Structure 1
Amino acid sequence: MNGKAVAITGALGALGRVVAEVALSRGARVAGIDYAPSEIPPTPDRIDLGGVDLTDAAQATRAIEAAAAQFGRLDALINIAGGFAFETIADGDARAWERMYALNVMTALNASRAALPHLAAAARGRIVNVGAMGALQAGSGMGPYAASKSAVHRLTEALAAEWKGKITVNAVLPSTIDTPANRASMPRADFAKWVAPQELAEVILFLASDAASAVTGALIPVSGRV
């Protein structure tokens, strides 16, 4: 990743922070993009753009353009921004489905569309999306989330086919990620079986690296120790 310019959406979240830290430790230059405000001071190798609503295409485009302008190029886009909702179909309403689609699909779509010209110009452009193991077979209460992440999988495959030979596009499919929020919501779970953010970051950054030049359109399960 040395010298690579990388944009990371959701960079201030539990996973995004780890991916950004590991990328920086390997010599990448990172532009973090998040809906939350940023308190991280800029450095020559990192800027953080807070308050960006990636469900809005215009805001996504401005953020990606700022990232590319900061480093003079963009080599990789890592789409981590998203959300989760647990709601049964019978007891919920359509707003949860709309919200999950906006947070998980439209954020990745808007950021990717804005980044495509820059990534194509980089010659070895990379897009890495975050899907979900839970989207392969939805359980009770997982309908809105699983449907939206399944759409991320299809987005990944379609983009990979459209840009084959120019940009690689892949997705990681984690099971439960070991984050403070997940521990709080499932306090009796065996956390040792979950996917550590560092482990997931390793797979993401491999897919964003030159070493993954022959991998595109792949949906990579990262299932922990279940």
Structure 2
Amino acid sequence: MDYLTSQRVIAITGAFGNLGAALAAQAALRGYRLALIDHASDAPAASRDTTDTLVLPGVDLTSLANAEEAARRIEERFGRLDALVNIAGGFAWETFADGELATWDRLYALNLRTALCASKAMLPLIQQAPAGRIVNIGAGAAAKAGLGMGAYAASKAGVQRLSESLAEELKDQGVTVNAVLPSIIDTPQNRQAMPDADFSRWVSTEQLSAVILFLLSDEAAAITGAGIPVNGRV
């Protein structure tokens, strides 16, 4: 195991969800130390606080003050932060005519504001890292909103613009910022919502995690400001 890799710390938001848990498991196998952040109050059994893992449940990342407190806890535990992966988010399908304006506000808060607050809070630590990384979870659906997808697509399009703008701001500071743009992720929730679909065509959480881990690696140092489609066979 590379010494520097074994010292690196990754903060994962939405860490108790399907993708967050898969990414945490793969990152741990590669020797990264982890800060697992989630809004849920109860951490799953697989997310245990250890020497190499800091578990931070009950964190509302729509609050900058809460995000800054999480950053303080990370610095207190590890003394550094090398990367942030913004997975926290949500989804809703509803038509504009029959939907609520509150849905637009809620998805903005869940998908864009959480990434904004986490990035702003963690950035001072990431800027001190030898090779800082930020990876955001966008969506392929943000490129063109389909029926009932307006609020979701708009919020995820905002994530992409945040990624591009921050990448431009940090490109001479050794920090890369990218977004992955998945199609349908193979999760129990999506299988339940679309029981007649061909699940084999979807993107698995392990496949998406592998792309994220590549973007966190030294080999991806030349990639910044990118939105990378991860479509599976959709």
Which amino acid in the other structure matches residue 213 of structure 1?
A
**Superimposed CA distance per residue, residues 128-166 of structure 1 (whole angstroms, 9 cap, x where no aligned partner):** 000000001110000000000000000000000011122
Q: 1:212 is matched with which residue?
A: 220
Q: 1:29 is matched with which residue?
A: 33
Q: Deviation at 1:211? A: 1.3
Contact 1:9 1:80 in 2 (8 A): yes
Q: Compute the RMSD of aligned alpha carbons.
A: 0.9
Deviating beyond 2 angstroms after TM superposition, the runs of 4 or more aligned structure 1 residues are none
Q: Unmatched 5+ residue regions in structure 1?
A: none
Name the CA distance, whole Å, in 1 between partners of 2:144 and 2:48: 42
Q: 1:6 is matched with which residue?
A: 10
Which amino acid in the other structure matches residue 143 of structure 1?
G
Name the CA distance, whole Å, in 2 between partners of 1:186 and 1:2: 40
Q: 2:82 is matched with which residue?
A: 75
The answer to whether structure 1 residue 16 and structure 2 residue 20 are counterparts is yes
Q: Deviation at 1:93? A: 1.3
Contact 1:78 1:128 in 2 (8 A): yes
Name the CA distance, whole Å, in 2 between partners of 1:83 and 1:69: 30
Q: Which secondary structure state, in structure 2, belongs to the residue aligned with residue 121 of structure 1?
A: coil
Q: 1:91 is matched with which residue?
A: 98
Q: Deviation at 1:196? A: 0.3
* Alignment TM-score, normalising by the size of structure 2: 0.95
Aligned counterpart for 1:176 among listed residues 180, 184, 207: 184
Name the CA distance, whole Å, in 1 between partners of 2:49 and 2:186: 28
Q: 1:135 is matched with which residue?
A: 142
Q: 2:120 is matched with which residue?
A: 113
Q: 2:203 is matched with which residue?
A: 195
